[in-house]
Amino acid sequence: MSVIWPTLTIRPDKPLEATQLETMRHVDAVARSLGLRYFVAGALARVILLEHVHGQRPGPATRDIDFGVTVEDWPTFQSLKNGLVDTGAFETSPGAEHRLIYVLSPHRLWIDLVPFGGIEQDGRMIAWPPDRAMVMNVAGFSEAADAAIAVEIAPDLTVAIASLPSLAVLKLITWLDRWPDNRGKDAQDFFHILSRYAEAGNMDRLYDTEQALMVRADFDPDLAGAGLLGKEAAQLCLPETASLISGLFSHSQTFER
């Protein structure tokens, strides 16, 4: 389902790094020139919403930027990559079809472009050309695009950022896909979103329209915030994505992960 969020603004005392901002300017310009819908995902989306918008502790820092991009076919995705390389700001990363290296900075930074939409197989998998050997699960990306939040990251630039409920869903799917590898990091990232949701602009709602959650949580705002996150994550999920998440939590080994 589509979720409408108000446009948010970066705090004046928490500006983005110049390199991150310029990287997103390039992606925004090229994606718009091709008529492509995109959103910022991954760790930077979490950092933007928690730290730069709401002034909370963001959790682990990151130097890469993940973008979800809606495309109808692989040639369109290649056009996006070519357009970014043609700016002179990026170069390809051999062996990583989804990655481009930002070269206009003394510090190493890369972007990961995750395409979804018309190229999906079985509703959630993509297989990268030419040999289709690299396969990626993009479940939850279409919902994240629909529920993305417009954030004014600079006076002249507003971009779509994956919402915290969407990031929680995508993190759980990653956790499921990468088991048993990297389980500690996935759990840490998910818990950070879960534990910060009340303070991420939701406290007034918990004492007003979502007061029932506060009552159930014995007026513990962190616990009620976790309940609100789960409620809103469930609202944005398509049935097949919800089934994946339900399967994760019903599996006997989940809480050993």
The predicted-structure confidence for 110-159, as pLDDT tens digits, reads as follows 999 999 999 998 778 999 988 888 889 999 999 999 999 999 999 999 99
CA dihedral sign of residues 168, 169, 172, 178: negative
- Which amino acid type is present at position 21? L
Q: What is the CA radius of gyration of the chain?
A: 18
Exposure string over 53-70, b if 16+ CB within 10 A, otherwise e: bbebebbeebebbbbbbb
39-96: pLDDT as tens digits = 999 999 999 999 999 998 766 667 799 999 999 999 999 999 999 999 999 999 998 8
The predicted pLDDT at position 198 comes to 95
The half-sphere exposure of 257 on its side-chain side, counting CA atoms within 13 A, is 24
Q: What is the pTM of this model?
A: 0.90
Domains defined for the chain, CATH in brackets = 8-251 (3.30.460.40)
Tens-digit pLDDT profile for residues 227-249:
999 999 999 998 988 888 887 77
Nearest Cα neighbor of 200 from 160, 157, 249, 151 is 151
Contact present, 85 and 92 (Cβ < 8 Å): yes
